[in-house]
Chains A and B, each alone.
Chain A
Amino acid sequence: MAVEVRGLSHRYPVGDGLITALEGVNLTVKNGEFVAVVGRSGCGKTTLLRTIAGLLSPTSGQVKVLGGSSDSARQARALGLVTQDPGLLSWLNVASNVRLTLDITGEEGRDERAQELLERVGIAEFARLVPGQLSGGMRQRVALARALAHRPKLLLMDEPFGALDELSREEMRLELLRVWEQERTSVVFVTHSIREAVLLADRVVVMNGQPGHVTAEVLIPLERPRLGTLEESQPYRELVARVRGLLWSEPVAHGD
């Protein structure tokens, strides 16, 4: 198993009281599986992801990542992280941002691997630009490349395309699918877009708040490789409608 979360709760103090962000969350991700977590803003998706990454400690419950603790997965350099605001190092150019991952993890053959990734995500010709000179979509490509550079077993993505315009989002979803077909890591992908979740994932986990908990799971048996035209197909629309129904806790009559 890539991820096994059992009875996870997370509370943090606000003023005099405690806010419960997560309550009794269960989640499993198989090796090589692409799992999308969908939920409204504030339902604890990001808290869940940060806990899996070992950036937050659970108040109670169990989190196992790649068979051990989050910390051991981190120490094994098995995690890659992509966030909505990617936090690229603005003083390093694109190539150096990707290269930094390899410098930190101490990989062999860094130059070749960095170049390979720049090409894979289609940013090789922008290698000498700094992040401030790139569009939002380009920045997310860099973020993806640097998160994959050290060949992590688990890729954690927190609304990576949430701040992009609609066209860039569509482009980046397909780009992610294409890259993922080649790298094939396990993925936990947090999003508030139902269509995005269904297009990308093998399985969609529906979260509701508050406190955040998992309310449903939907298998997405759509064939891979998936293409943009998939969004026109009937099975896709039905799955989207089903997830939407589960998210709003009542069926919706119309598709999109």
Chain B
Amino acid sequence: MIIVVPALISALLLAFWELWVRARDVKEYLLPAPSAVLRVLADEPGRFAEAAYLSLQAAIGGLIIASLGAFILGTAMAHSRVLERSIYPPALALKVTPIVAVVPLFTIWFGFGLMPRVLIAAMITFFPMLVNTVIGLRSVDPRAHDFLRALNASRWQIFWHLRVPSSLPYVFAGLRISVPLSLIGAVVAEFLSGSAGMGQLILIANGDFDTPALFGAVFVLAGLGIVLTATVALIERKYLFWHDSSLGA
């Protein structure tokens, strides 16, 4: 049931869309039927697959850089209020800066390769990862902390055995927010610089008035988003089996 019902609803929506386009004879450049979109995807699978691969590479690369950066800076911030106060303002400034304003700069600095796209994806996902990591590293059970201190555990032991595992539910919450953001960051960077990936594909299809290809890009991106989110959910279920949200407590 848990798969059947959502799949049924999606199928119904697509069927309704298809019928509506056919019944009202909607022009293809306005709204192509799902069958027309599928035909475009089937005609040029290589074009979409390559673009998807490049966008995914940028998104995941950015997510990894943002997560590692958030872990390193978050660890420093969780241990020192001064560092926390010093790092938050620039991190916030980075977050509120529209990536649209930064892409041209990054393109000038880093060219049209993978680097600027990865950095944009990292930039847009860094803040949610940082905030969640800091909260997570701080959210230790005070009784467990007392127990370890009474054992004379070192700061490193407390960090490794208590803080890091305690932070995982928050880190995963950050990942769930950041995964779709990383795709958005990658595609926007590609679109604005016209360099590669799904963003470039959309830019070209737009210039050609190729509406079915635009919809194809939407389908592919939606699919990527779902797959990435599901992957994070799977990893989360494997590593957070002990958490209240998994035990159903």
Contacts and interface: CB of A to CB of B under 8 A. Distances in A.
Interface of A: 50, 53-55, 74-75, 77, 79-81, 83, 85-92, 100-101, 104-105, 130-133, 146-147, 150, 156
A156 B168 CA distance: 30
Contacts of B69: none
Contact of B148 (A54, A75, A90, A104): A104
Interface string B150-173: 111100010001100100100000
Contact of B151 (A87, A104, A132): A104
19 contacts: A53-B146, A54-B150, A74-B149, A83-B143, A85-B143, A86-B147, A87-B142, A87-B143, A87-B145, A87-B146, A87-B147, A89-B162, A91-B165, A104-B152, A105-B152, A130-B241, A132-B249, A146-B147, A150-B151
Interface in B96-152: 141-152
Nearest to B145: A87
Contacts of A147: 147
A86 B143 contact: yes
A248 B168 CA distance: 48
B243 interface: yes
B151 A79 contact: yes
Nearest to B248: A132
Given A104-B161, A130-B241, A156 B152 contact: no
A79 B150 contact: yes
A53 B247 CA distance: 33
Contact of B146 (A50, A77, A88, A150): A50
B242 interface: yes
A11 B213 CA distance: 72
Contacts of B244: 132
A173 B151 CA distance: 24
A53 B157 CA distance: 19
Interface in B22-47: none
Q: Do most interface residues of chain B lie in helix, strand or loop, or is the interface mixed?
A: helix
Contacts of B151: 74, 77, 79-81, 101, 104-105, 150
Please give me the 10 A-B residue pairs with the lowest Cβ-Cβ distance, nearest first: A87-B143, A87-B144, A81-B150, A91-B242, A132-B247, A74-B152, A90-B242, A87-B141, A91-B165, A130-B242
A55 B150 contact: yes
Given A87-B142, A104-B161, 7 more contacts: A55-B149, A77-B151, A81-B147, A85-B143, A89-B161, A91-B243, A130-B242
Contacts of B150: 53-55, 74, 79-81, 156
Nearest to A52: B150
Nearest to A80: B150
Nearest to A84: B143
A81 B150 CA distance: 7
B152 A77 contact: yes
Contacts of B247: 130, 132-133
Interface in B192-249: 241-244, 247, 249
Contacts of A105: 151-152
Chain B CB within 10 A, most for which of A75, A77, A81, A156:
A81
B69 to A, nearest CB: 25
Contacts of A83: 143, 146-147
Nearest to B244: A132
Contact of B144 (A74, A75, A80, A89): A89
Contacts of A146: 147
Contacts of B144: 87-89
B237 to A, nearest CB: 13
Contacts of B147: 81, 83, 86-87, 146-147
Contact of B165 (A79, A88, A89, A150): A89
B149 A100 contact: no
Contacts of A87: 141-147
Contacts of A90: 242-243
Contacts of B243: 90-91
Contacts of A133: 247
Contacts of B241: 130
